[in-house]
Structure 1
Amino acid sequence: MLITFRSKAAAEVVMYQEHAKRILELLNKDLHRGVITAAEAAHAVALLEHEVAESRKHAASEEVTRDVNAHHGEDGDDNDHEAAEMVTFATRAYPLLEMMRAAKSGGHDILWGV
């Protein structure tokens, strides 16, 4: 399921619900409908920037590494599959973080689920 974030400050940001969940839980917001007010935007930006910085400190988990290795031959070379490319939390959060920054500086709210 998709969530569309809207604000007068920026273009719409569309995210899969499972990816938006981590961000919205961090901000103590409802997954299905809510608002980040202009007054809350500065705090939301700070929280999300901190979470992005923390996520960059940690390498891919052992479980993910094991799963990737299981899909490749003994030599680590499998022509039937492309190399796995991880999409980091920082990459997924970036568009919404930029929207939050624009909302903060423009004094606009961010809405979803309405």
Structure 2
Amino acid sequence: MLYKFKSRSTADVIMLEPNARQILTIIGKDPNEHHGIVTVAQIPGAIAALEKAVVAEENLGRADKDKISESDNAAEDDQNVSEGELVELRQRAIPFIDMLRRSAAENNDVIW
């Protein structure tokens, strides 16, 4: 299933269900609701929550990379996923954060 986020300030942002659920959970919205709203008043808190989650994920990723580089674990080297193939929260959240910022600047809510 796809989630389509809409605002009068921007083009639609479309996300796959798992990614949208993650974003909605981070901003404090019920991910089980397939329709909802982020009001203009809620946008600053949503942006702050997303930015905090992005930083936390990046810090966690750095810690994991440090552990892997310190221990020459052959099992870790055998993984088939290269670092460039992983899509991080930052990459998924940036379009939505941009939508929130532009919507706040023009005093428009974001709905899905």
- TM bracket (short chain): 0.7 to 0.9
Give me the TM-score of the superposition, normalised by structure 1: 0.76
The alignment of Structure 1 onto Structure 2 pairs a total of residues equal to 100
Of the candidates 34, 37, 49, which is equivalent to residue 39 of structure 2? Answer: 37
Consecutive unaligned residues of structure 1, counting only runs of 5 or more, are 72-81
Correspondence list, 1:1-114, <5 A:
1-31=1-31, 32-59=34-61, 69-71=78-80, 83=82, 85-112=85-112
- List per-residue Cα deviations over 1:88-107 (Å, max 9, x = no partner): 11101111011011111111
Deviation at 1:50, TM superposition (A): 1.0
Change (3 A) 1:86 1:102: same
Give SS of 1:59's match. helix
Q: Which amino acid aligns with 1:43?
A: G
Segments of 4+ moved more than 4 angstroms: none
Which consecutive residues of structure 2, in runs of 5 or more, have no partner in the other structure?
Answer: 66-74
Per the TM alignment, residue 68 of structure 1 is displaced from its structure 2 partner at its CA by: 7.5
- Identity of paired residues, percent? 30
Q: Aligned pair in 2 of structure 1 residues 109, 51: CA closer, same or farther (>3 Å)?
A: same
Change (3 A) 1:33 1:67: farther
Shift of 1:8: 0.6
Q: Which amino acid aligns with 1:47?
A: A
Structure number with higher helix proportion: 2
